[in-house]
């Protein structure tokens, strides 16, 4: 421990107790608005005052270490995203589920914009995920109860009314598709963004869609395994049992999960350009990891999935 650190540890509690103190730290001393190269013990205050009693003032030095007083207030906003918290505005990567199956969950992939299909889909913006995530809200499902969708998923039943976020509209699941859309309640709102990479605060705007190419590096944010990275190992993947047709095969390059149960509906995004290329729908059970999840998984081409819901469908421009 350096001398300044020792002095800081010795005096920090007293400094924090001073009137108006908002924080203490070790930082470079300022001269006016300019930083010097001198490390100092800095006391941040809500407002500098000249009328303080002597015992409430910050001395010019502490045990030979210079001090500084800086006007500044702080607020702490956690930058990690909890996919099982209720988010006032919907975005990629947070949990979603039908109200009638509140205890399970999948992941919101993105928000799409369509001109409709002239039948059961009206022009507008919709959240996109997998059909197998929203199937209990599909009126054609044998266990259908109601069409309401909630965020977050994995909720106690009955979920609070303010978890409602929209209604199931349409979906399809076959060898080449696993996609569904739902309306977005006006009270919730939305934005095409995804939580940032680990150790980076905030969120990243999705920039559009692209066609995946071999060896593309991608990432995803799913409700279960959060942010993971992978690489497009194969395109146009067809399984011998005919259960999968024309899929992407994505694999983590280390012995770590790419996806796990609950990540269904998340999107695969180009790491360098933030363009969406795939809609994740399954893990490769042959790559199951001892601690859970799958090192590799399957996704369908994102534009192909979106095209199921209109004649002119794209990633919705952010409001």
Summarize pLDDT for 41-97 with one digit per residue, the tens. Answer: 999 899 999 898 989 999 999 999 999 998 888 765 545 689 999 999 999 999 999
Share above pLDDT 90 across residues of the chain, in percent, rounded to a whole number: 76
Of residues 200 and 210, which shows the higher confidence score?
210
Check: CB of residue 112 under 8 Å from CB of residue 190: no
Structural domains in the chain, sorted by start: 3-71 (no CATH), 95-191+309-315 (2.40.10), 197-303 (2.40.10.10)
pLDDT for 62 equals 92
**Under 8 Å between Cβ of 266 and 280:** yes
> Does the pLDDT at position 246 exceed 70?
yes
Q: What is the mean pLDDT of residues 191-219?
A: 95
């Amino acid at each position: 421990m350096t001398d300044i650190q020792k002095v800081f540890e010795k005096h920090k509690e007293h400094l924090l107790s001073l009137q108006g103190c908002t924080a203490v730290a070790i930082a470079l001393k300022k001269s006016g608005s300019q930083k010097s190269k001198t490390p100092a013990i800095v006391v941040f205050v809500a407002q500098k005052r000249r009328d303080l009693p002597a015992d409430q003032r910050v001395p010019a030095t502490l045990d030979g270490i210079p001090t500084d007083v800086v006007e500044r207030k702080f607020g702490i906003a956690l930058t990690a995203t909890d996919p099982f918290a209720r988010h006032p505005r919907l975005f990629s990567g947070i949990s979603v589920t039908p109200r009638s199956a509140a205890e399970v969950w999948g992941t919101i992939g993105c928000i799409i914009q369509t001109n409709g299909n002239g039948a059961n889909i009206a022009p507008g913006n919709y959240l996109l995920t997998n059909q197998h995530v929203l199937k209990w809200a599909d009126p054609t499902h044998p266990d259908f109860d109601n069409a309401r969708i909630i965020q977050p998923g994995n909720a106690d039943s009955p979920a609070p009314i303010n978890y409602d976020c929209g209604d199931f509209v349409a979906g399809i699941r076959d060898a080449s598709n696993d996609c569904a859309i739902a309306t977005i309640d006006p009270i919730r709102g939305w934005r095409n963004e995804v939580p940032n990479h680990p150790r980076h605060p905030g969120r990243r705007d999705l920039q559009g869609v692209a066609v995946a190419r071999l060896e593309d590096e991608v990432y995803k944010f799913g409700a279960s395994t959060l942010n993971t990275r992978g690489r497009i190992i194969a395109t146009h993947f067809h399984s011998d049992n005919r259960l999968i047709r024309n899929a992407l095969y994505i694999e983590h390059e280390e012995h770590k999960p790419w996806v796990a149960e609950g990540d269904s509906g998340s999107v695969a995004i180009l790491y360098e350009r933030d363009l969406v290329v795939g809609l994740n729908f399954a893990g490769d059970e042959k790559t199951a990891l001892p601690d859970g999840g799958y090192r590799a998984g399957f996704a369908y081409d994102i534009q192909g999935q979106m095209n199921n819901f209109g004649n002119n469908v794209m990633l919705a421009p952010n409001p």
